[in-house]
Amino acid sequence: MSTWVLRSGRARVSARVDRRLVLVCAALLATAVTAVAADVAYGETRLPVIEIMATLVGAGDPGDRFVVLELRLPRAAVGALAGAALALSGVIFQTFARNSLASPDVIGITSGAALFGVAAFVMADAPGLAPVAAFAGAMTVAALIYGLAWRNGLSAYRLILVGVGLAALAQAGIVFVLIQGRVEDVQQAYVWLVGSVNLRTWDDFWPLLAGLSVLVPVAAVLARSLDALALGEEAARGLGIRVERVRLGLVVVGAALASIAVAAVG
């Protein structure tokens, strides 16, 4: 059988679980955990797994605790959560549009975040505001995409075409902002544009975790309507789905996920 059936005798509740989906998710989770462990273990100072485990439970020498808990683990954790946010954002947009081109970078969400972030570096001379500016930029582009693609409803094809156009405009805006700035500010902006988890601390981790803890459940609720939307707008309406409200929610959540990832790692 390709599915598992879970039943609760007293509550008379049952659920069908796709076995392949569970196995794939388990394999991906194991791969992510392995990657994080490797990132913590390897570096200028190589640490055996036993010493890492001892450090995590409160043992180990002070040097190992500093390397693991203050340098490597927050960096790996921020990278993992940022990657998860971008991946979930891509899944939302691609499933919603039924097109693999509809990723946050192609339709301009991350480009809008980058434009506002670079402006914080170069024009406002306020690097500390770059994460907030990136979030504002991503949400601004999402609002423009939704507004410009609206024609008695939101079409997936119009969303992609409008998004590609806005992405090009945002990239041109980034170049324009960079050529206006001082060399020192532009250098910092370029480093931020490339993206890095270097020097990330727990202060970067907790806001990212808080954002995901809010957005992931909302995405899970909205995802229940994606299968109905895949059948077409009329079929979805016939099943009681509030199509435009769900589409707006998906655009907002997808953009917010991409923006918090850009805000965290550039």
**pLDDT tens for each residue of 194-234:** 877 877 888 888 888 998 999 989 888 887 777 777 666 66
Dist. CA 87–CA 22, nearest whole Å: 18
**pLDDT for the residue numbered 7:** 61
Q: What is the pLDDT of residue 17?
A: 65
| Integer Cα distance of 28 and 111 in angstroms | 28
Residue 153 parent element (H or E): none
Q: How far is CA 43 from CA 34, 40, 135, in A?
A: 15, 8, 32
Could you give the residue ranges of the DSSP H alpha helices within the chain?
19-41, 49-56, 62-65, 73-97, 109-122, 130-149, 156-180, 183-194, 202-223, 226-230, 233-238, 243-265
Q: Please state the φ and ψ torsions of residue 7, each to the nearest 5 degrees.
A: -130, 145
Give ∠ CA 182-188-189 in degrees, rounded to 5.
Answer: 85
pLDDT of residue 172: 92
Under-50 pLDDT residues of the chain: none
Would you state the structure tokens that stand for residue 87, as one six-digit string?
Answer: 């991946």
